A and B are shown apart, each in its own frame.
Chain A
Amino acid sequence: MGAAVFFGCAGIAFGPALALVLLTVAAEPLRVIILVAGAFFWLVSLLLASLVWFISVHLSDQGNARLQYGLLIFGAAVSVLLQEAFRFAYFKLLKKADEGLATISEDGRSPISLRQMAYVSGLSFGIISGVFSVINILADSIGPGVVGIHGDSPYYFITSAFLTMAVVLLHTFWGVIFFDACEKRHYWCLGLVVVSHLVTSGLTFLNPWYVASLVPIYIITFCMGIWAFFTAGGSFHNILKCLSCKQEDDSRVMMYSALQVPFED
């Protein structure tokens, strides 16, 4: 407990997300807006899911622990489905916005491509989902206390941090795959994304048996990552090109400067 745990877990949970935001999103205003709007959509989905859960809990027998646990599972499933539904809704909104931006712009092309929007929206869902899952835990980790003093796992904080990192990355990948699937109408891809989200959420029900939950979740994350990479247009060839750090010869640069209007004094 203490500052070390706080900073360590915060770094684990949000390190990749922060790096991605700083390097790819922060510089472009449009992407920041898409990020915040994505968070809003996720929040609305969570609100609706919480409403469903809350009603179901209050209509049921609060003393029955098994029933309550069952309702929690139900609530989690509803939440996952609603998140994906709102991801679809966000896709629709962004598609419309993309068309709007294209008509408004000078050269008829939108300043941001649908793939970039897919990535940013996935990242936004991931960040807000991760934050909502783990921020209270992180806040508690600063304070005094002993983890798992009543017999729970002492690895609560670190496993939460790793789970959060996985969730953030997963949402990013799902965003890319989902939007691409919607665009190309590959409904089986959509179904697979929803199923993998449900499976991931379901695997967390195996906590604190961390070997059974964390390892498969990371395997899923890795697979989704590869799938998203190929969906986004990546290929082995691209990786090699990137690693070899070759500069592309861009003859367009020359043309541009030739067309430049000289400034008058």
Chain B
Amino acid sequence: MITFMNNSDSEDEPCNERTSLMSAESPPVPSYQDGLQASETREAQTHRKRQTGSSRSPNNVADEDTSDLDVRVRESALENEEEELTLKYGAKHVIMLFVPVTLCMIVVVATIKSVRFYTEKNGQLIYTPFSEDTPSVGQRLLNSVLNTIIMISVIVVMTVFLVVLYKYRCYKFIHGWLILSSFMLLFLFTYIYLGEVLKTYNVAMDYPTVILIIWNFGAVGMICIHWKGPLQLQQAYLIMISALMALVFIKYLPEWSAWVILGAISIYDLIAVLCPKGPLRMLVETAQERNEPIFPALIYSSAMIWTVGMAKPDTAAKGQSQQTWDADGRENHSSSSHSDSQILDTRSPAPSHPITLEEMEEEERGVKLGLGDFIFYSVLVGKAAATPSGDWNTTLACFVAILIGLCLTLLLLAVFKKALPALPISITFGLIFYFSTDNLVRPFMDTLASHQLYI
């Protein structure tokens, strides 16, 4: 159980290799890129993402330098176009986050609706020791508040511990911890999940097959997440582990405690990121001082990879439409020249006309969202799907609410250009919509449907 919490707590990894996968991880330069930098940092702002630096490798440093220079080149070229580019990217980047968040929620909702295991109550975590099986409402409420206090304190302690580790540069310790936690997620929880799905559909599977499947899934996952791998595979793995984690929370958190915890976590997120002495803010600032990529770890990054190098006229002219990138492309460029006259070439879903410099700049950054945000969004929607009434309207209302919250958060990010917490707006909307849809809209729509009335 302790490792359990570790899993949830330390979803980040010092993925130095990951920095080599995505140029979006270049060090935050307080400039034009701030808005997007902020998006990088912001997302990791959940208590889960206490990230800490990666163990630096020389390879990485070269990448950093290159990307540093890129950033400066872009910076000077584009300061005056800051405003419009922020918005232009805004829409595209919002969609780049909508898609993974939606996929994660779909996986969680599909599992909740079909696999009984995750809605059965089989005990609780040690972090929520008070039971909710009490006769009176007041006692139940008190127990859930106490559970929340314990859970949030554990999270705060973990966050502070991670920040302290990061400050004192104990990168190896953090690295090891994260590898252990993702190992458990990828192997143990996947095994349990597979077992439950097979049980639900009454499919028999022999142990050798299970071992083969789990081994392959887990090993490729570890490699993709902690080392190198195709971007989309990595994204898929991150979505899957977030979904698994969310399912575990949905199963083991008692009903009322879950809702109070969701509320408390958003408040904590807000405080931790925005207050001057908040742990996450300190983490961000420390990383900025050290000029390290802030959260090169378990953060979902939707970045498109850039290739930095000499201009390639034919590729630029024809436009590239390939969508998959892998680390090899990036590594080729780490040895590219550092001259200021680098022309940035990008591989992106290309327009049919030759890519101008401005467009290349536009495609450069992806957006990052911390996995804790994925997890808590999915917990909210999953809990909405797990309501005993089996109502789909509640689930859909919460889904829309979360997406709108995410959209607003990104809009605020474009306006304020600093680290912002991703949880509060979405979770607030989600909670409002959950309770109002479940209690007000559901009876209304059910009554209308029983008379086959349409509004």
> Whole-angstrom distance from the CB of B427 to the nearest CB of chain A?
15
Interface flag for B303 (CB, 8 Å): no
The interface residues of chain B lying within 8 Å CB-to-CB of A132 are 393, 396, 441, 445
- Complex Cα–Cα for A76 and B451 (A): 12
The interface residues of chain A lying within 8 Å CB-to-CB of B449 are 133, 136-137
For A47, give its contact among B88, B95, B437, B447 (CB under 8 Å): B437
User: CB-nearest residue of chain B relative to A208?
Assistant: B452
Binds A, one of B190-198, B232-240, B310-318: B310-318
For A160, give its contact among B95, B390, B441, B452 (CB under 8 Å): B452
**Contact B95 A29, beta carbon cutoff 8 Å:** yes
The interface residues of chain B lying within 8 Å CB-to-CB of A139 are 390, 392
Interface of B is mostly: helix
- Complex Cα–Cα for A265 and B81 (A): 26
Instruction: Name the interface residues of A225-265: CB closer than 8 Å to any CB of B.
Output: 256-257, 260-265
Given the known interface contacts A104-B87, A106-B84, A204-B453, the answer about A54 and B393 at a Cβ–Cβ threshold of 8 Å is no
The interface residues of chain A lying within 8 Å CB-to-CB of B396 are 128, 131-132, 135
The interface residues of chain B lying within 8 Å CB-to-CB of A106 are 81, 84
**Contact A72 B98, beta carbon cutoff 8 Å:** no
User: CB-nearest residue of chain A relative to B403?
Assistant: A36
Interface flag for B300 (CB, 8 Å): no
The interface residues of chain A lying within 8 Å CB-to-CB of B400 are 36, 39-40, 43, 128
Interface flag for A46 (CB, 8 Å): yes
Interface flag for A221 (CB, 8 Å): no
Interface flag for B291 (CB, 8 Å): no
- Complex Cα–Cα for A132 and B444 (A): 11
Interface string of A67-85 (1 = CB under 8 A from B): 0010010011001100100
The interface residues of chain B lying within 8 Å CB-to-CB of A104 are 83-84, 87
For A263, give its contact among B354, B393, B407 (CB under 8 Å): B354
Interface flag for A105 (CB, 8 Å): yes
**Contact B452 A47, beta carbon cutoff 8 Å:** no
Interface flag for A163 (CB, 8 Å): yes
**Contact B454 A53, beta carbon cutoff 8 Å:** no
The interface residues of chain A lying within 8 Å CB-to-CB of B436 are 47, 50-51
**Contact A75 B313, beta carbon cutoff 8 Å:** no
**Contact A72 B447, beta carbon cutoff 8 Å:** yes
- Complex Cα–Cα for A202 and B342 (A): 66
Q: State the interface size on chain A (CB cutoff 8 A).
A: 57
User: CB-nearest residue of chain B relative to A137?
Assistant: B449
The interface residues of chain A lying within 8 Å CB-to-CB of B441 are 46-47, 50, 132
**Contact B433 A43, beta carbon cutoff 8 Å:** yes
Interface flag for A10 (CB, 8 Å): no
Interface flag for B397 (CB, 8 Å): yes
Instruction: Name the interface residues of B429-451: CB closer than 8 Å to any CB of A.
Output: 433, 436-437, 439-441, 443-449, 451
Given the known interface contacts A201-B454, A204-B452, the answer about A40 and B440 at a Cβ–Cβ threshold of 8 Å is no
User: CB-nearest residue of chain B relative to A106?
Assistant: B84
Instruction: Name the interface residues of A43-98: CB closer than 8 Å to any CB of B.
Output: 43, 46-47, 49-51, 53-54, 69, 72, 75-76, 79-80, 83
Given the known interface contacts A136-B391, A160-B452, the answer about A54 and B83 at a Cβ–Cβ threshold of 8 Å is no
- Complex Cα–Cα for A40 and B397 (A): 8
- Complex Cα–Cα for A224 and B229 (A): 52
- Complex Cα–Cα for A261 and B357 (A): 11
- Complex Cα–Cα for A51 and B452 (A): 20
> Whole-angstrom distance from the CB of A238 to the nearest CB of chain B?
25
> Whole-angstrom distance from the CB of B342 to the nearest CB of chain A?
12
> Whole-angstrom distance from the CB of A215 to the nearest CB of chain B?
15
**Contact B452 A76, beta carbon cutoff 8 Å:** no
For A163, give its contact among B354, B404, B454 (CB under 8 Å): B454
Given the known interface contacts A40-B404, A133-B445, the answer about A76 and B455 at a Cβ–Cβ threshold of 8 Å is yes
**Contact B401 A40, beta carbon cutoff 8 Å:** yes
- Complex Cα–Cα for A257 and B354 (A): 9
Interface flag for B91 (CB, 8 Å): yes
- Complex Cα–Cα for A128 and B433 (A): 15
Instruction: Name the interface residues of B68-98: CB closer than 8 Å to any CB of A.
Output: 81, 83-84, 87-88, 91-92, 94-95, 98
Interface flag for A200 (CB, 8 Å): yes
Instruction: Name the interface residues of B381-399: CB closer than 8 Å to any CB of A.
Output: 390-393, 396-397
- Complex Cα–Cα for A137 and B449 (A): 8
> Whole-angstrom distance from the CB of A100 to the nearest CB of chain B?
8
For A136, give its contact among B356, B392, B443 (CB under 8 Å): B392
Interface flag for A121 (CB, 8 Å): no
With A30-B91, A128-B400 known, 10 other A-B pairs at CB within 8 A are A29-B91, A33-B91, A33-B95, A36-B400, A40-B400, A46-B444, A50-B436, A137-B449, A201-B453, A207-B453
Q: List 24 A-B contacts (CB under 8 A).
A: A29-B95, A43-B400, A46-B455, A47-B433, A50-B440, A51-B440, A53-B444, A54-B443, A54-B444, A75-B444, A76-B448, A83-B455, A104-B83, A106-B81, A111-B88, A128-B396, A128-B400, A136-B392, A136-B445, A137-B449, A139-B390, A156-B452, A261-B356, A264-B343
* A residues adjacent to B (C-beta < 8 A): 29-30, 32-33, 36-37, 39-40, 43, 46-47, 49-51, 53-54, 69, 72, 75-76, 79-80, 83, 101, 104-106, 111, 128-129, 131-133, 135-137, 139, 156, 159-160, 163-164, 167, 200-201, 204-205, 207-208, 256-257, 260-265
Closest CB pairs A-B (n = 5): A263-B313, A29-B91, A207-B452, A50-B440, A29-B95
